[in-house]
Amino acid sequence: MIPHLSERALILAPQGRDAEVACAMLGEAGLLGVPCRSIDHMVEEMGKGAGYGLITEEALRTADLHPLAKWLAAQPEWSDFPFILLTLRGGGLERNPAAARYLETLGNVTFLERPFHPTTLVSLAQSARRARRRQYDARARLEELHALAAELEQRVEQRTAERQAAVEQLHEAQKLETLGQLTGGVAHDFNNLLTPIVGTLDLLQRKFEGQDARTDRWIANALQSGERAKTLVQRLLGFARRQELQSRPVDMAGLIDGMRDLITSSIGPTIELRMRCASELPQALADPNQLELAILNLCVNARDAMPGGGLLTIAVEPALLGPGSEPKLPPGLYIRLSIIDTGTGMDAETLARAVEPFFSTKEMGRGTGLGLSMVHGLTAQLGGAFVLDSEPGQGTRADLYLPVTAATAGSDATAAPSKALLPSRPLVILVVDDEALVRRGTAEMLRHLGHRVLEAEGGAEALVMLAANSTIEAVVTDYKMPHMDGAELARRVHGEWPEMPILLISGYTGAADPVADLPRLNKPFGLIELANALNRACNPGSNVVAFG
């Protein structure tokens, strides 16, 4: 609508000089009037803008009113276009039935019977113009309300989307947490099953070694399978955030550079490897051994996603995260390790499930589905995050966010575990475990080492046996037991016998076993690991390292 036309009067008076006279009357009062030739012409001008219409009855009597009725029916909600209808003498509503039809068609109409005084016409015209102005005011308020409503709707949609995203993130976190708890429990039970198997195979190998080549091969194969199962459990514990980590300052540039040859040989000649490290990187706080395994895992995944060759990029750079940044980590400085491939990529459904344990897109026999879940659990346990970004045909980017430390990375001074049995004087040892197979297997290995062994099914029985037998010289106890766990038993034992050596054995590791002052041995273990761990428990100053 054109603003300067919005208050004019459209005059439809086709006979004689009626339109000219009406324009003159309105003009004397300062009102603008515009003559119209026909109904169609009037509708056209109404579309441009008008304040009201002035129509004579004879102009409507034989005209086609459909265009006018159609325009009036299509008015916006704020509009009720006003008309002044000039009727003939005796043509009012009371004496003119046809006027009712005009009222129904025009809607907002005021009848003025001729002849009339010019003042009356001007008064009705001014009233119609004021009514039209109020409609314009209503339009402005409605437009403002509509704008506010649209803004509010947009905000509601935005907040709803944010809430939905937060709920989905919460559900995903809860799902992964539940899977982690389930996986950790399965790994614990699996370790309990593996411990007597690995221990018995170790004893059999030592007893029959060299007597028969086939027997040696069978036992060696079985032990190799046990080691593979042990690695599988470690990955399960990695996803469940229960593996034991040896976190320390790590020079990421040096670590990546040191892996160059290993990665190159793992990805094959058809894939180009590029490494990019920012200068003057701060030290990352991580377990270098677990981190190397995670990086190698991601590189092998990238290789499998590029069967026809491609480009693999490994980039290390600092990342400063602020409040509300992605990923959801406490604000601060992190090291971002990115592994980027140009492979087949993943769709949204696959990407959403990628870190779930045992989920794999590889064919049977080519993967356990635990690689990405282990990386996810590792970074979470380190206080960082693991972020995957991928699209079909666009490749995959894996970002590991690692916390930084002001400490300086030093050389790895961890002693390699001895593969030879160390001599030890015979001891009287109490083995405590609620799992009979594990308890008996551990007892047999200790007897093979020359020790005398007593067995207890739980903490309460162990305390009774300790009180009744003063010859017991060491306690080897499981950690997870009903009624009284290994930590509580250790506290009770040290309360009565402060000098009693205690070795804690557990299918869980790391943060799940907060008994920092006790030597620990992780299940499953063989004869060498048990012997070294026992020596460490009985000789705190010894350099012997227990296997994990």
Going residue by residue through the chain, which has 548 residues, state the pLDDT in tens, using 9 for 90 and above: 555 688 999 999 988 888 999 999 999 999 999 999 999 999 999 999 999 999 998 898 888 999 999 999 999 989 999 999 998 765 555 666 666 778 888 889 998 888 889 999 999 999 999 999 999 999 999 889 989 999 999 989 888 887 887 677 666 656 656 655 666 666 667 777 777 888 788 788 877 877 888 887 888 888 777 777 776 666 555 544 455 567 889 999 999 988 888 788 888 899 999 999 998 899 999 888 788 878 888 898 899 889 999 999 999 999 999 888 888 899 999 999 999 999 999 888 888 777 775 556 555 444 444 567 778 888 888 889 999 899 999 999 999 999 998 876 554 433 344 444 555 678 999 999 998 888 988 998 899 888 999 999 999 999 999 999 999 999 999 988 888 988 899 999 999 999 899 999 887 644 444 455 788 888 888 888 888 888 888 887 544 433 32
Nearest CA to 473 out of 425, 521, 438 is that of 425
- Residue 376: count other Cβ atoms within 10 Å of its Cβ: 25
The count of other CB atoms within 10 Å of the CB of residue 271 is 21
Instruction: Please check whether residue 465 is in contact with residue 430, taking contact to mean a CB–CB distance below 8 angstroms.
Output: yes
428-538 and 3-116 share a CATH fold: yes
Class of 3-116 per CATH? Answer: alpha beta
Residue type, 281: L
Please state, in angstroms and rounded to a whole number, the distance separating the CA atoms of residues 275 and 292.
15
Q: Would you state the pLDDT for residue 406?
A: 82
pLDDT of residue 513: 46
What residue ranges in 294-383 does DSSP mark as E strands?
Answer: 310-321, 332-341
Sign for the pseudo-dihedral over CA of 296, 297, 303, 306: negative
Give pLDDT, residue 479. 87
pTM: 0.44
Provide the pLDDT for residue 246: 72
State the Cα torsion 59-64-65-70 to the nearest 10°: -150
* Separation of alpha carbons 204 and 192, rounded Å: 19
DSSP 453: E
CATH no. of 249-405: 3.30.565.10
Q: Are 222 and 362 contacting, i.e. CB atoms less than 8 angstroms apart?
A: no
Interatomic CA distance for residues 433 and 422, integer angstroms: 25
Provide the H-helix boundaries in 497-539: 527-538
Q: Specify the 3-state DSSP secondary structure of 14.
A: coil
Q: What is the pLDDT of residue 96?
A: 65
Contact between 386 and 380 under an 8 Å Cβ cutoff? The reply is yes
Sign of the C-alpha dihedral, residues 476, 480, 486, 487? positive
Strand partners, 109: 83
Which residues fall within 8 angstroms of residue 445, CB to CB, at 6 or more apart? 199, 202, 203, 527, 530
What is the residue extent of each domain of the chain? 3-116, 249-405, 428-538
DSSP annotation of 510 reads: G
Surface-to-core class of residue 341, CB atoms within 10 Å of its CB (0-12 exposed, 13-18 middle, 19+ buried): buried
N- to C-terminal Cα separation, the chain: 83
- Helices and strands (DSSP H and E) totals, the chain: 16, 17
Centre a 10 Å sphere on the Cβ of residue 337 and count the other Cβ atoms it contains.
27
Query: d(Cα 263, Cα 337) in Å, to the nearest integer?
Result: 15
Do 240 and 510 form a contact (C-beta atoms < 8 A)? Answer: no
What CATH number does domain 428-538 carry, 3.40.50.2300, 3.30.9.90, 3.90.25.10, 3.40.1670.10?
3.40.50.2300
Rounded to whole angstroms, how far apart are CA atoms 386 and 353?
A: 14
Look at residue 349 in the predicted model and tell me its pLDDT: 84
